[in-house]
Chains A and B, each alone.
Chain A
Amino acid sequence: MTAAAPRTLAWINYGYLLLMMLVIAAILTAAMAMQYIGGELPCPLCLLQRVALFGVCFGIIATFRFGDSGRNTGLGLLFAIFLLVVSVRQSLLDIYPRPGHAYIGSAVFGIHMPVWCVLIALALLIAYSVKLAVLDSRDARAVPLVEFPALARAARAAGAYVVMLCAINLISVVVQCGLDACHTSGYRLLQSLH
């Protein structure tokens, strides 16, 4: 391997992770747009799926900030598996329509949100597998993100956007659920004001 190869591999690795985080941020933004513009309130399991997506973003932000390590990748993978477990369980919960149980919200391209989350979780697991199989090398891991100033700036901006999305979600959860269990009947805090 030449001297330039680890740097190139590190650049591809960081770019790949940034792309993953941007895709997750876009999914979360779309979900929030459907909530605030479309008026579709998220159910508790839907909110847990958002938590799992933010958790995967945490793994990526930690990689950008503290370096590419097995621990940061492992944390991201843990949340990808959590997303898979929650979304599969919710899909099975609503797969047979009966009183009190049906897919919540509108379908996107004919597929409902929990089923989309199964596909997203599988895509994330495949993406992590590709990263570990193809882009992982000890020499490349030793190259910090600050070696690529443009990529580092983009990663920092994307990280700030994800933190902002999470802050909006926290406010939204407080308004929807208060300190009690979450329901999809309405925004609890707004109802109590009327």
Chain B
Amino acid sequence: MMVPIFATLLLALATAWMGRQTIAIACLIACLLLSIGLFLFEVYSPDYGFRMPWIQTQLDVGAPPSPARSRA
């Protein structure tokens, strides 16, 4: 999927540089859509989905307040 992304990007840049506005913008939008698709594919995990459980924190509500907190 990366090759079509860079191919459309190169086409967009080259045609913009040569002055073909409509083709350039069409290629750039195609490149952006392909990039968004690949990004979602890359970050999706079969186990976690789009979540990131390794950075989630959970308050231990049952624990007694620490001395530092009780002084505050």
Contact = CB atoms under 8 A, between A and B. Distances in A.
A and B: real partners? yes
Interface of A: 44-45, 47-48, 51-52, 54-55, 57-58, 61-62, 65-66, 71, 75, 78-79, 82, 85-86, 89, 92-93, 95-96, 98, 156, 159-160, 162-163, 166-167, 169-170, 173-174, 177-179, 181-182
A187 to B, nearest CB: 13
Size category of the B interface is 20 to 34
Given A48-B38, A92-B55, A58 B24 contact: yes
B42 A44 contact: yes
B34 to A, nearest CB: 9
Contacts of B6: 47, 51, 166, 169-170, 173
Interface of B: 1-3, 5-7, 9-10, 12-14, 16-17, 19, 21, 24-25, 28, 31-32, 35-36, 38-39, 42-43, 52, 54-55
B19 A65 contact: yes
Given A62-B16, A89-B43, A170 B38 contact: no
A169 B31 CA distance: 15
B3 A170 contact: yes
B17 A163 contact: yes
A48 B39 contact: yes
A96 B54 contact: yes
